[in-house]
Amino acid sequence: MLIQAYQKDQKLAEDIKSSVYQTQGFRVWWLGQSGFLIQYLGKHLLFDPYLSDSLTKKYADTDKPHTRISELVIDPALLDMIDVVTSSHNHTDHLDAETLLPIFEKNPTITMVIPEANRVFVSERLKKDVDFPVCLNDNEHIEIYPFKLYGVPAAHNAIERDEAGKLKYMGFVAEFGPYKVYHSGDTLWYDGIVDILKPFEVDIAFLPINGNKPERKVAGNLNFEEAARLGKEIGAKLVIPHHYHLFEFNTEDPENFVAKADEYGTPYRVLRLGERIEII
């Protein structure tokens, strides 16, 4: 039986819209895998959504079946309030045409933020002009009111750059009002990651916990212990784990993360699919 969402589809959409006029703090919803929605001052930033079964269909008759273990949390066409959407890299669970095209249709003024190195690939996959996405590299930032997004390196499994030195895999720090959050994209621990992230003093770090196992035949991520330790070392006020409970072959029990977070004294919150958390 599929893992059930805390709330989904129309109920989730109504929950998002119910707080759109709230002026205090900000709100976060987990949409599954690495997808998170941020709401601040009535504006919405959507990190790396994957809201389809495109990978399950693509790999159905291969030696790497992507068997879904949790239900889809929302039809992307219901997300008609999005101002900014990111894709941290070109893997389909972070850059999915079946997810993004309905979102673009419902949000004609949306801004898409991606790594500069991926501009051509993204435009071809999404059948958009190459000038459609706004592009970042590390040590750069852009402002899309009320959000300021900084590009930071991600190692998936290595920090890769194109011939011009532009990152192919990226994380994002988003600053809005007095708040900052870090979305890792997909990344391993690499030399310098703490030094890069610690100065941001993030309110939330969204960190993967599924680990890096070669037998899965896919690029890996932080494991549950590393995510708990990284959150502590960068001084995150809260760590929310992600990249688990989507595909049977590439998941992790979040209780393992909870145990390590308790051991390290890392503040955390494990969200259910479609669940909201409010930061004041």
Backbone angles phi, psi at 163, to 5 degrees: -65, -20
Residue 94 · residue 192 · CB < 8 Å: no
Quick one: tokens of 278? 């409010």
Q: Which domains does the chain have, with CATH numbers?
A: 9-279 (3.60.15.10)
Q: Where are the beta strands (DSSP E) in the chain?
A: 26-32, 35-40, 43-47, 84-86, 111-115, 134-136, 141-144, 147-153, 170-176, 179-183, 204-208, 239-242, 276-279
pLDDT in tens, 14-48: 999 999 999 999 999 999 999 999 999 999 999 99
| pLDDT for the residue numbered 223 | 98
Q: Which stretches of the chain score pLDDT less than 50?
A: none
